[in-house]
Amino acid sequence: MSDKYSDMTIRCGGRTFKTHKAIVCSQSSFFDKALNSSFKEGITNEVELPEDDPAAIRHMLEFMYKGDYSRVEESTAGCPDTDTQQKALAATARPRRSGFKHLHAYLVADKYDVRALRLLALTRFYRAVELTWMADEEFPDLVDELYATTTEQHQDLRDIVCRLVGFHLLDDHASAKKRMEPVMKKHGEFAMGVLDYYILSVRGDCAW
């Protein structure tokens, strides 16, 4: 993402992004309104985002310019001198941490009305957790953050984790319940969602 001919600046978490209004504002109603107004942002062409995750903002801008965002964690990208063992460890950890990355990308896409990014992040979130959640020690923390940062308007995202847990309670009921019980107690909506999908799974088994 080149800053050549940039005509707007986004600042977030100590990072400065030089961008282009034609690209950013055409994909986000939030930035379109902010940069085409009589308020401070419209006059200075600068936007401060103090509450957002800089990495998520970077992914959002990367998507706006490329139609995609990196699957590689920033901490390991662009480090050709990393030894083989470190690369292997990073590759092992990446699928787990990627759940958080796609959650954050989804949240900024929703906040700033970048609809295509929201859909992509939703798809990648599902793919990141569907095959790893049972063995992922961070999955309860991921669900906790998901419910702490979303509302009923984000049911498409919430349904993913509810369905995964609810449909697989019968596979290993005791261990699954033990792992997720603290999060269910903390977030009643998650517990109800899991119960709904659990009932659906039981009915499905009965139908067979």
Calculate the alpha carbon distances from 147 to 64, 103, 188 in Å: 27, 11, 10
Q: pLDDT tens digit string along 69-102?
A: 987 655 433 333 434 334 433 444 444 478 999 9
pLDDT tier at 174, thresholds 50, 70, 90? low
Please say if the pLDDT value at position 133 is more than 80: yes
Q: pLDDT tens digit string along 10-65?
A: 999 999 999 999 999 999 999 999 998 888 988 999 999 999 999 999 999 999 99
Distance CA 153, CA 80 (A): 42
Q: Which residues contact 53 (CB under 8 A, 6 or more apart)?
A: 12, 13, 104, 108
Mean pLDDT (the chain, rounded): 85
Please say if the pLDDT value at position 122 is more than 80: yes
Please say if the pLDDT value at position 123 is more than 80: yes
Q: Residue 10 carries which DSSP code?
A: E
Q: Residue 153 carries which DSSP code?
A: G
Q: Residue 49 carries which DSSP code?
A: -
Least confident span in 33-42, 110-119, 122-131: 33-42
pLDDT of residue 168: 82
Domains and CATH numbers, the chain: 1-128 (3.30.710.10), 133-208 (no CATH)
pLDDT of residue 79: 33
Q: pTM for this one? A: 0.82
The stretch 171-179 carries a mean pLDDT of 69
Q: Residue 16 carries which DSSP code?
A: E
Please say if the pLDDT value at position 130 is more than 70: yes
Helix or strand run (H / E) with residue 48: strand 46-48
pLDDT of residue 173: 56
Please say if the pLDDT value at position 198 is more than 60: yes
Q: Residue 56 carries which DSSP code?
A: H
Q: Which residue has the higher pLDDT, 68 or 42?
A: 68
